[in-house]
Amino acid sequence: MSPWIDGQGRKIDYLRLSVTDRCDFRCVYCMAENMRFLPRQQVLTLEEIERVARLFVAGGVRKLRLTGGEPLVRPGIVGHCERLAALPGLRELCMTSNGSQLGRYARDLRAAGLARLNISLDTLDAQRFQAITRTGRLDQVLRGIDAAQAAGFAGIKLNCVVMKGRNADEVPALVDYAIAHELDISFIEEMPLGQVGRDREESFCSSDEVRALIAERHELLDSAEHSGGPARYVRLAQHPRTRIGFISPHSHNFCATCNRLRLTAEGRLLLCLGHENSLDLRGLLRRHPLHDGPILDALHAALQRKPARHEFSAGGEVQVLRFMNLSGG
C-alpha cells in the first residue's frame, strides 16, 4: 500500500483517534457548562474506528493515540485497545486520559497492549480542580495516576493547560509532583477551540512565561529530543528522570514537521487541528462496508489538501468552532 505523504511532502505516521465526544468532566478550556453530545448513530462504531486504523497502519502509520472526550467512558474500550495494539506494523498504542477511571482500568489497559499514557492534571488543589473540571475530583485522578504506575506503565506524561488566575502559580508545585513521581510533564498553551463561555485572552499564559517560572527554581538543559508530537523538551539538571515539555501552538508554531491526522468521534478526518477542512469518513465507511478501494482513494486525495500551517492567533480568538472534545487535542 502506498505510504501516507501529504501535499507538502510531510510523511504522516501518527493518527489520533477520538473514540467519544463524551466525558465525565467539563473542563473550562475544553467544554461549555451545558454540552450537547452526539447522538449514538452519528458516532463511529468501534469496528469502524478499527477499520480506519487498520488502513492507516497498513500504509505506514506507526503510532495511534486514543483520545476524546474521555476515552475511558466509551464502553468496550479495553477490547478496542487489544485489537488496535495487535495491528501488524504498529509501533505504539497510546492514550490521553483525564485519569478519573484509571483506578479501575489501568491494569486491564496495560494487559491489552496499551503502551503509553498521557494524563491531564492542571492543579494539585482539590477546590481548584473542581473549579477547572467542574465535575472532577482530584483524589480520584491522583489514585488513577498511582494505579497507572502500579500497573507498570512507563513514560507516563502529565498534561497541564496553564491559565493565569487559575493554575499558573502552581507550575512549580506541579513540577515538584512530577519529579517526586518520576513522571514527565508538558505545559500547554490554551488553544482557541470552541466557545467555552470565558475570555481566553485574559488567562493566556505563554510557554516562555512557564519556562521562566521553572527556571527560577531549576537549572534547565535544552534537549533536542521529541516524542513524535509537537512538544519541545527541556531536562532538569538535578532530576534526570523528569522531562518538561512545552506545547506552544501560539508562540512556537510546529506545523512544518506535522506528521499527524485526527479522526473525530463522528468520523471526520481532520487534516489540521486549526482548520475546518476535513473528510467525511463516516459516510464513506458506511457507503462502502466491504470495499476499501474508494476509502483509500479519498484518503490519499484528502492528504493533498492538508494545510501547510494552522492560523491560531495569539489573541486567543475562536477561529475553529469545533470543541476540543470532538477532535481530541
Please work out the total of residues on this chain that contact ligand SF4, with binding judged by CB under 6 A: 13
Candidate residues 13, 21, 70, 170; the one interacting with ligand SAM per rule CB under 6 A: 70
Cβ-based nearer residue to ligand SAM, 55 or 255:
255
User: What gap in Å lies between CA 277 and CA 270, rounded to an integer?
Assistant: 7
Among residues 231, 254, 259, the alpha carbon closest in space to that of 15 is found at 259
- Does residue 260 have a known ligand-binding role? yes
User: What gap in Å lies between CA 30 and CA 43, rounded to an integer?
Assistant: 19
248 sits near ligand SAM (criterion: CB under 6 A): no
31 sits near ligand SF4 (criterion: CB under 6 A): yes
| Distance between start and end Cα atoms, the chain | 28
97 sits near ligand SAM (criterion: CB under 6 A): yes
Q: What cell numbers appear for 282 in the block? A: 463516516
Candidate residues 147, 162, 188, 320; the one interacting with ligand SAM per rule CB under 6 A: 188
* Burial label, 197 (beta-carbon count in 10 A; 0-12, 13-18, 19+): exposed
25 sits near ligand SF4 (criterion: CB under 6 A): yes
98 sits near ligand SAM (criterion: CB under 6 A): yes
User: What gap in Å lies between CA 321 and CA 191, rounded to an integer?
Assistant: 12
- Does residue 23 have a known ligand-binding role? yes
Choices 83-91, 94-102, 165-173, 268-276 (CB under 6 A): range interacting with ligand SAM:
94-102
- Does residue 67 have a known ligand-binding role? no
Q: How far is the CB of 146 from ligand SAM (least distance, A)?
A: 17
189 sits near ligand SF4 (criterion: CB under 6 A): no
Residue 156 interacts with which of ligand SAM, ligand SF4, none, CB < 5 to 8 Å by class: none
23 sits near ligand SF4 (criterion: CB under 6 A): yes
- Does residue 160 have a known ligand-binding role? no
67 sits near ligand SAM (criterion: CB under 6 A): yes
- Does residue 133 have a known ligand-binding role? no
27 sits near ligand SF4 (criterion: CB under 6 A): yes
Among residues 103, 101, 123, 119, the alpha carbon closest in space to that of 24 is found at 101
68 sits near ligand SF4 (criterion: CB under 6 A): yes
Cβ-based nearer residue to ligand SF4, 28 or 285:
28
Scan residues 110-169 and list those touching ligand SF4 (CB under 6 A).
120
Instruction: Show binding-site residues for S-adenosyl-L-methionine.
Output: 29, 69, 120, 191
Task: Summarize as ranges the residues that interact with ligand SAM (CB under 6 A).
Answer: 23, 29-30, 67-68, 70, 96-98, 120, 159, 161, 188, 190-191, 193, 324-325, 328-329
Interface ranges with ligand SF4 (CB under 6 A): 23, 25-27, 30-31, 68-70, 98, 120, 324-325
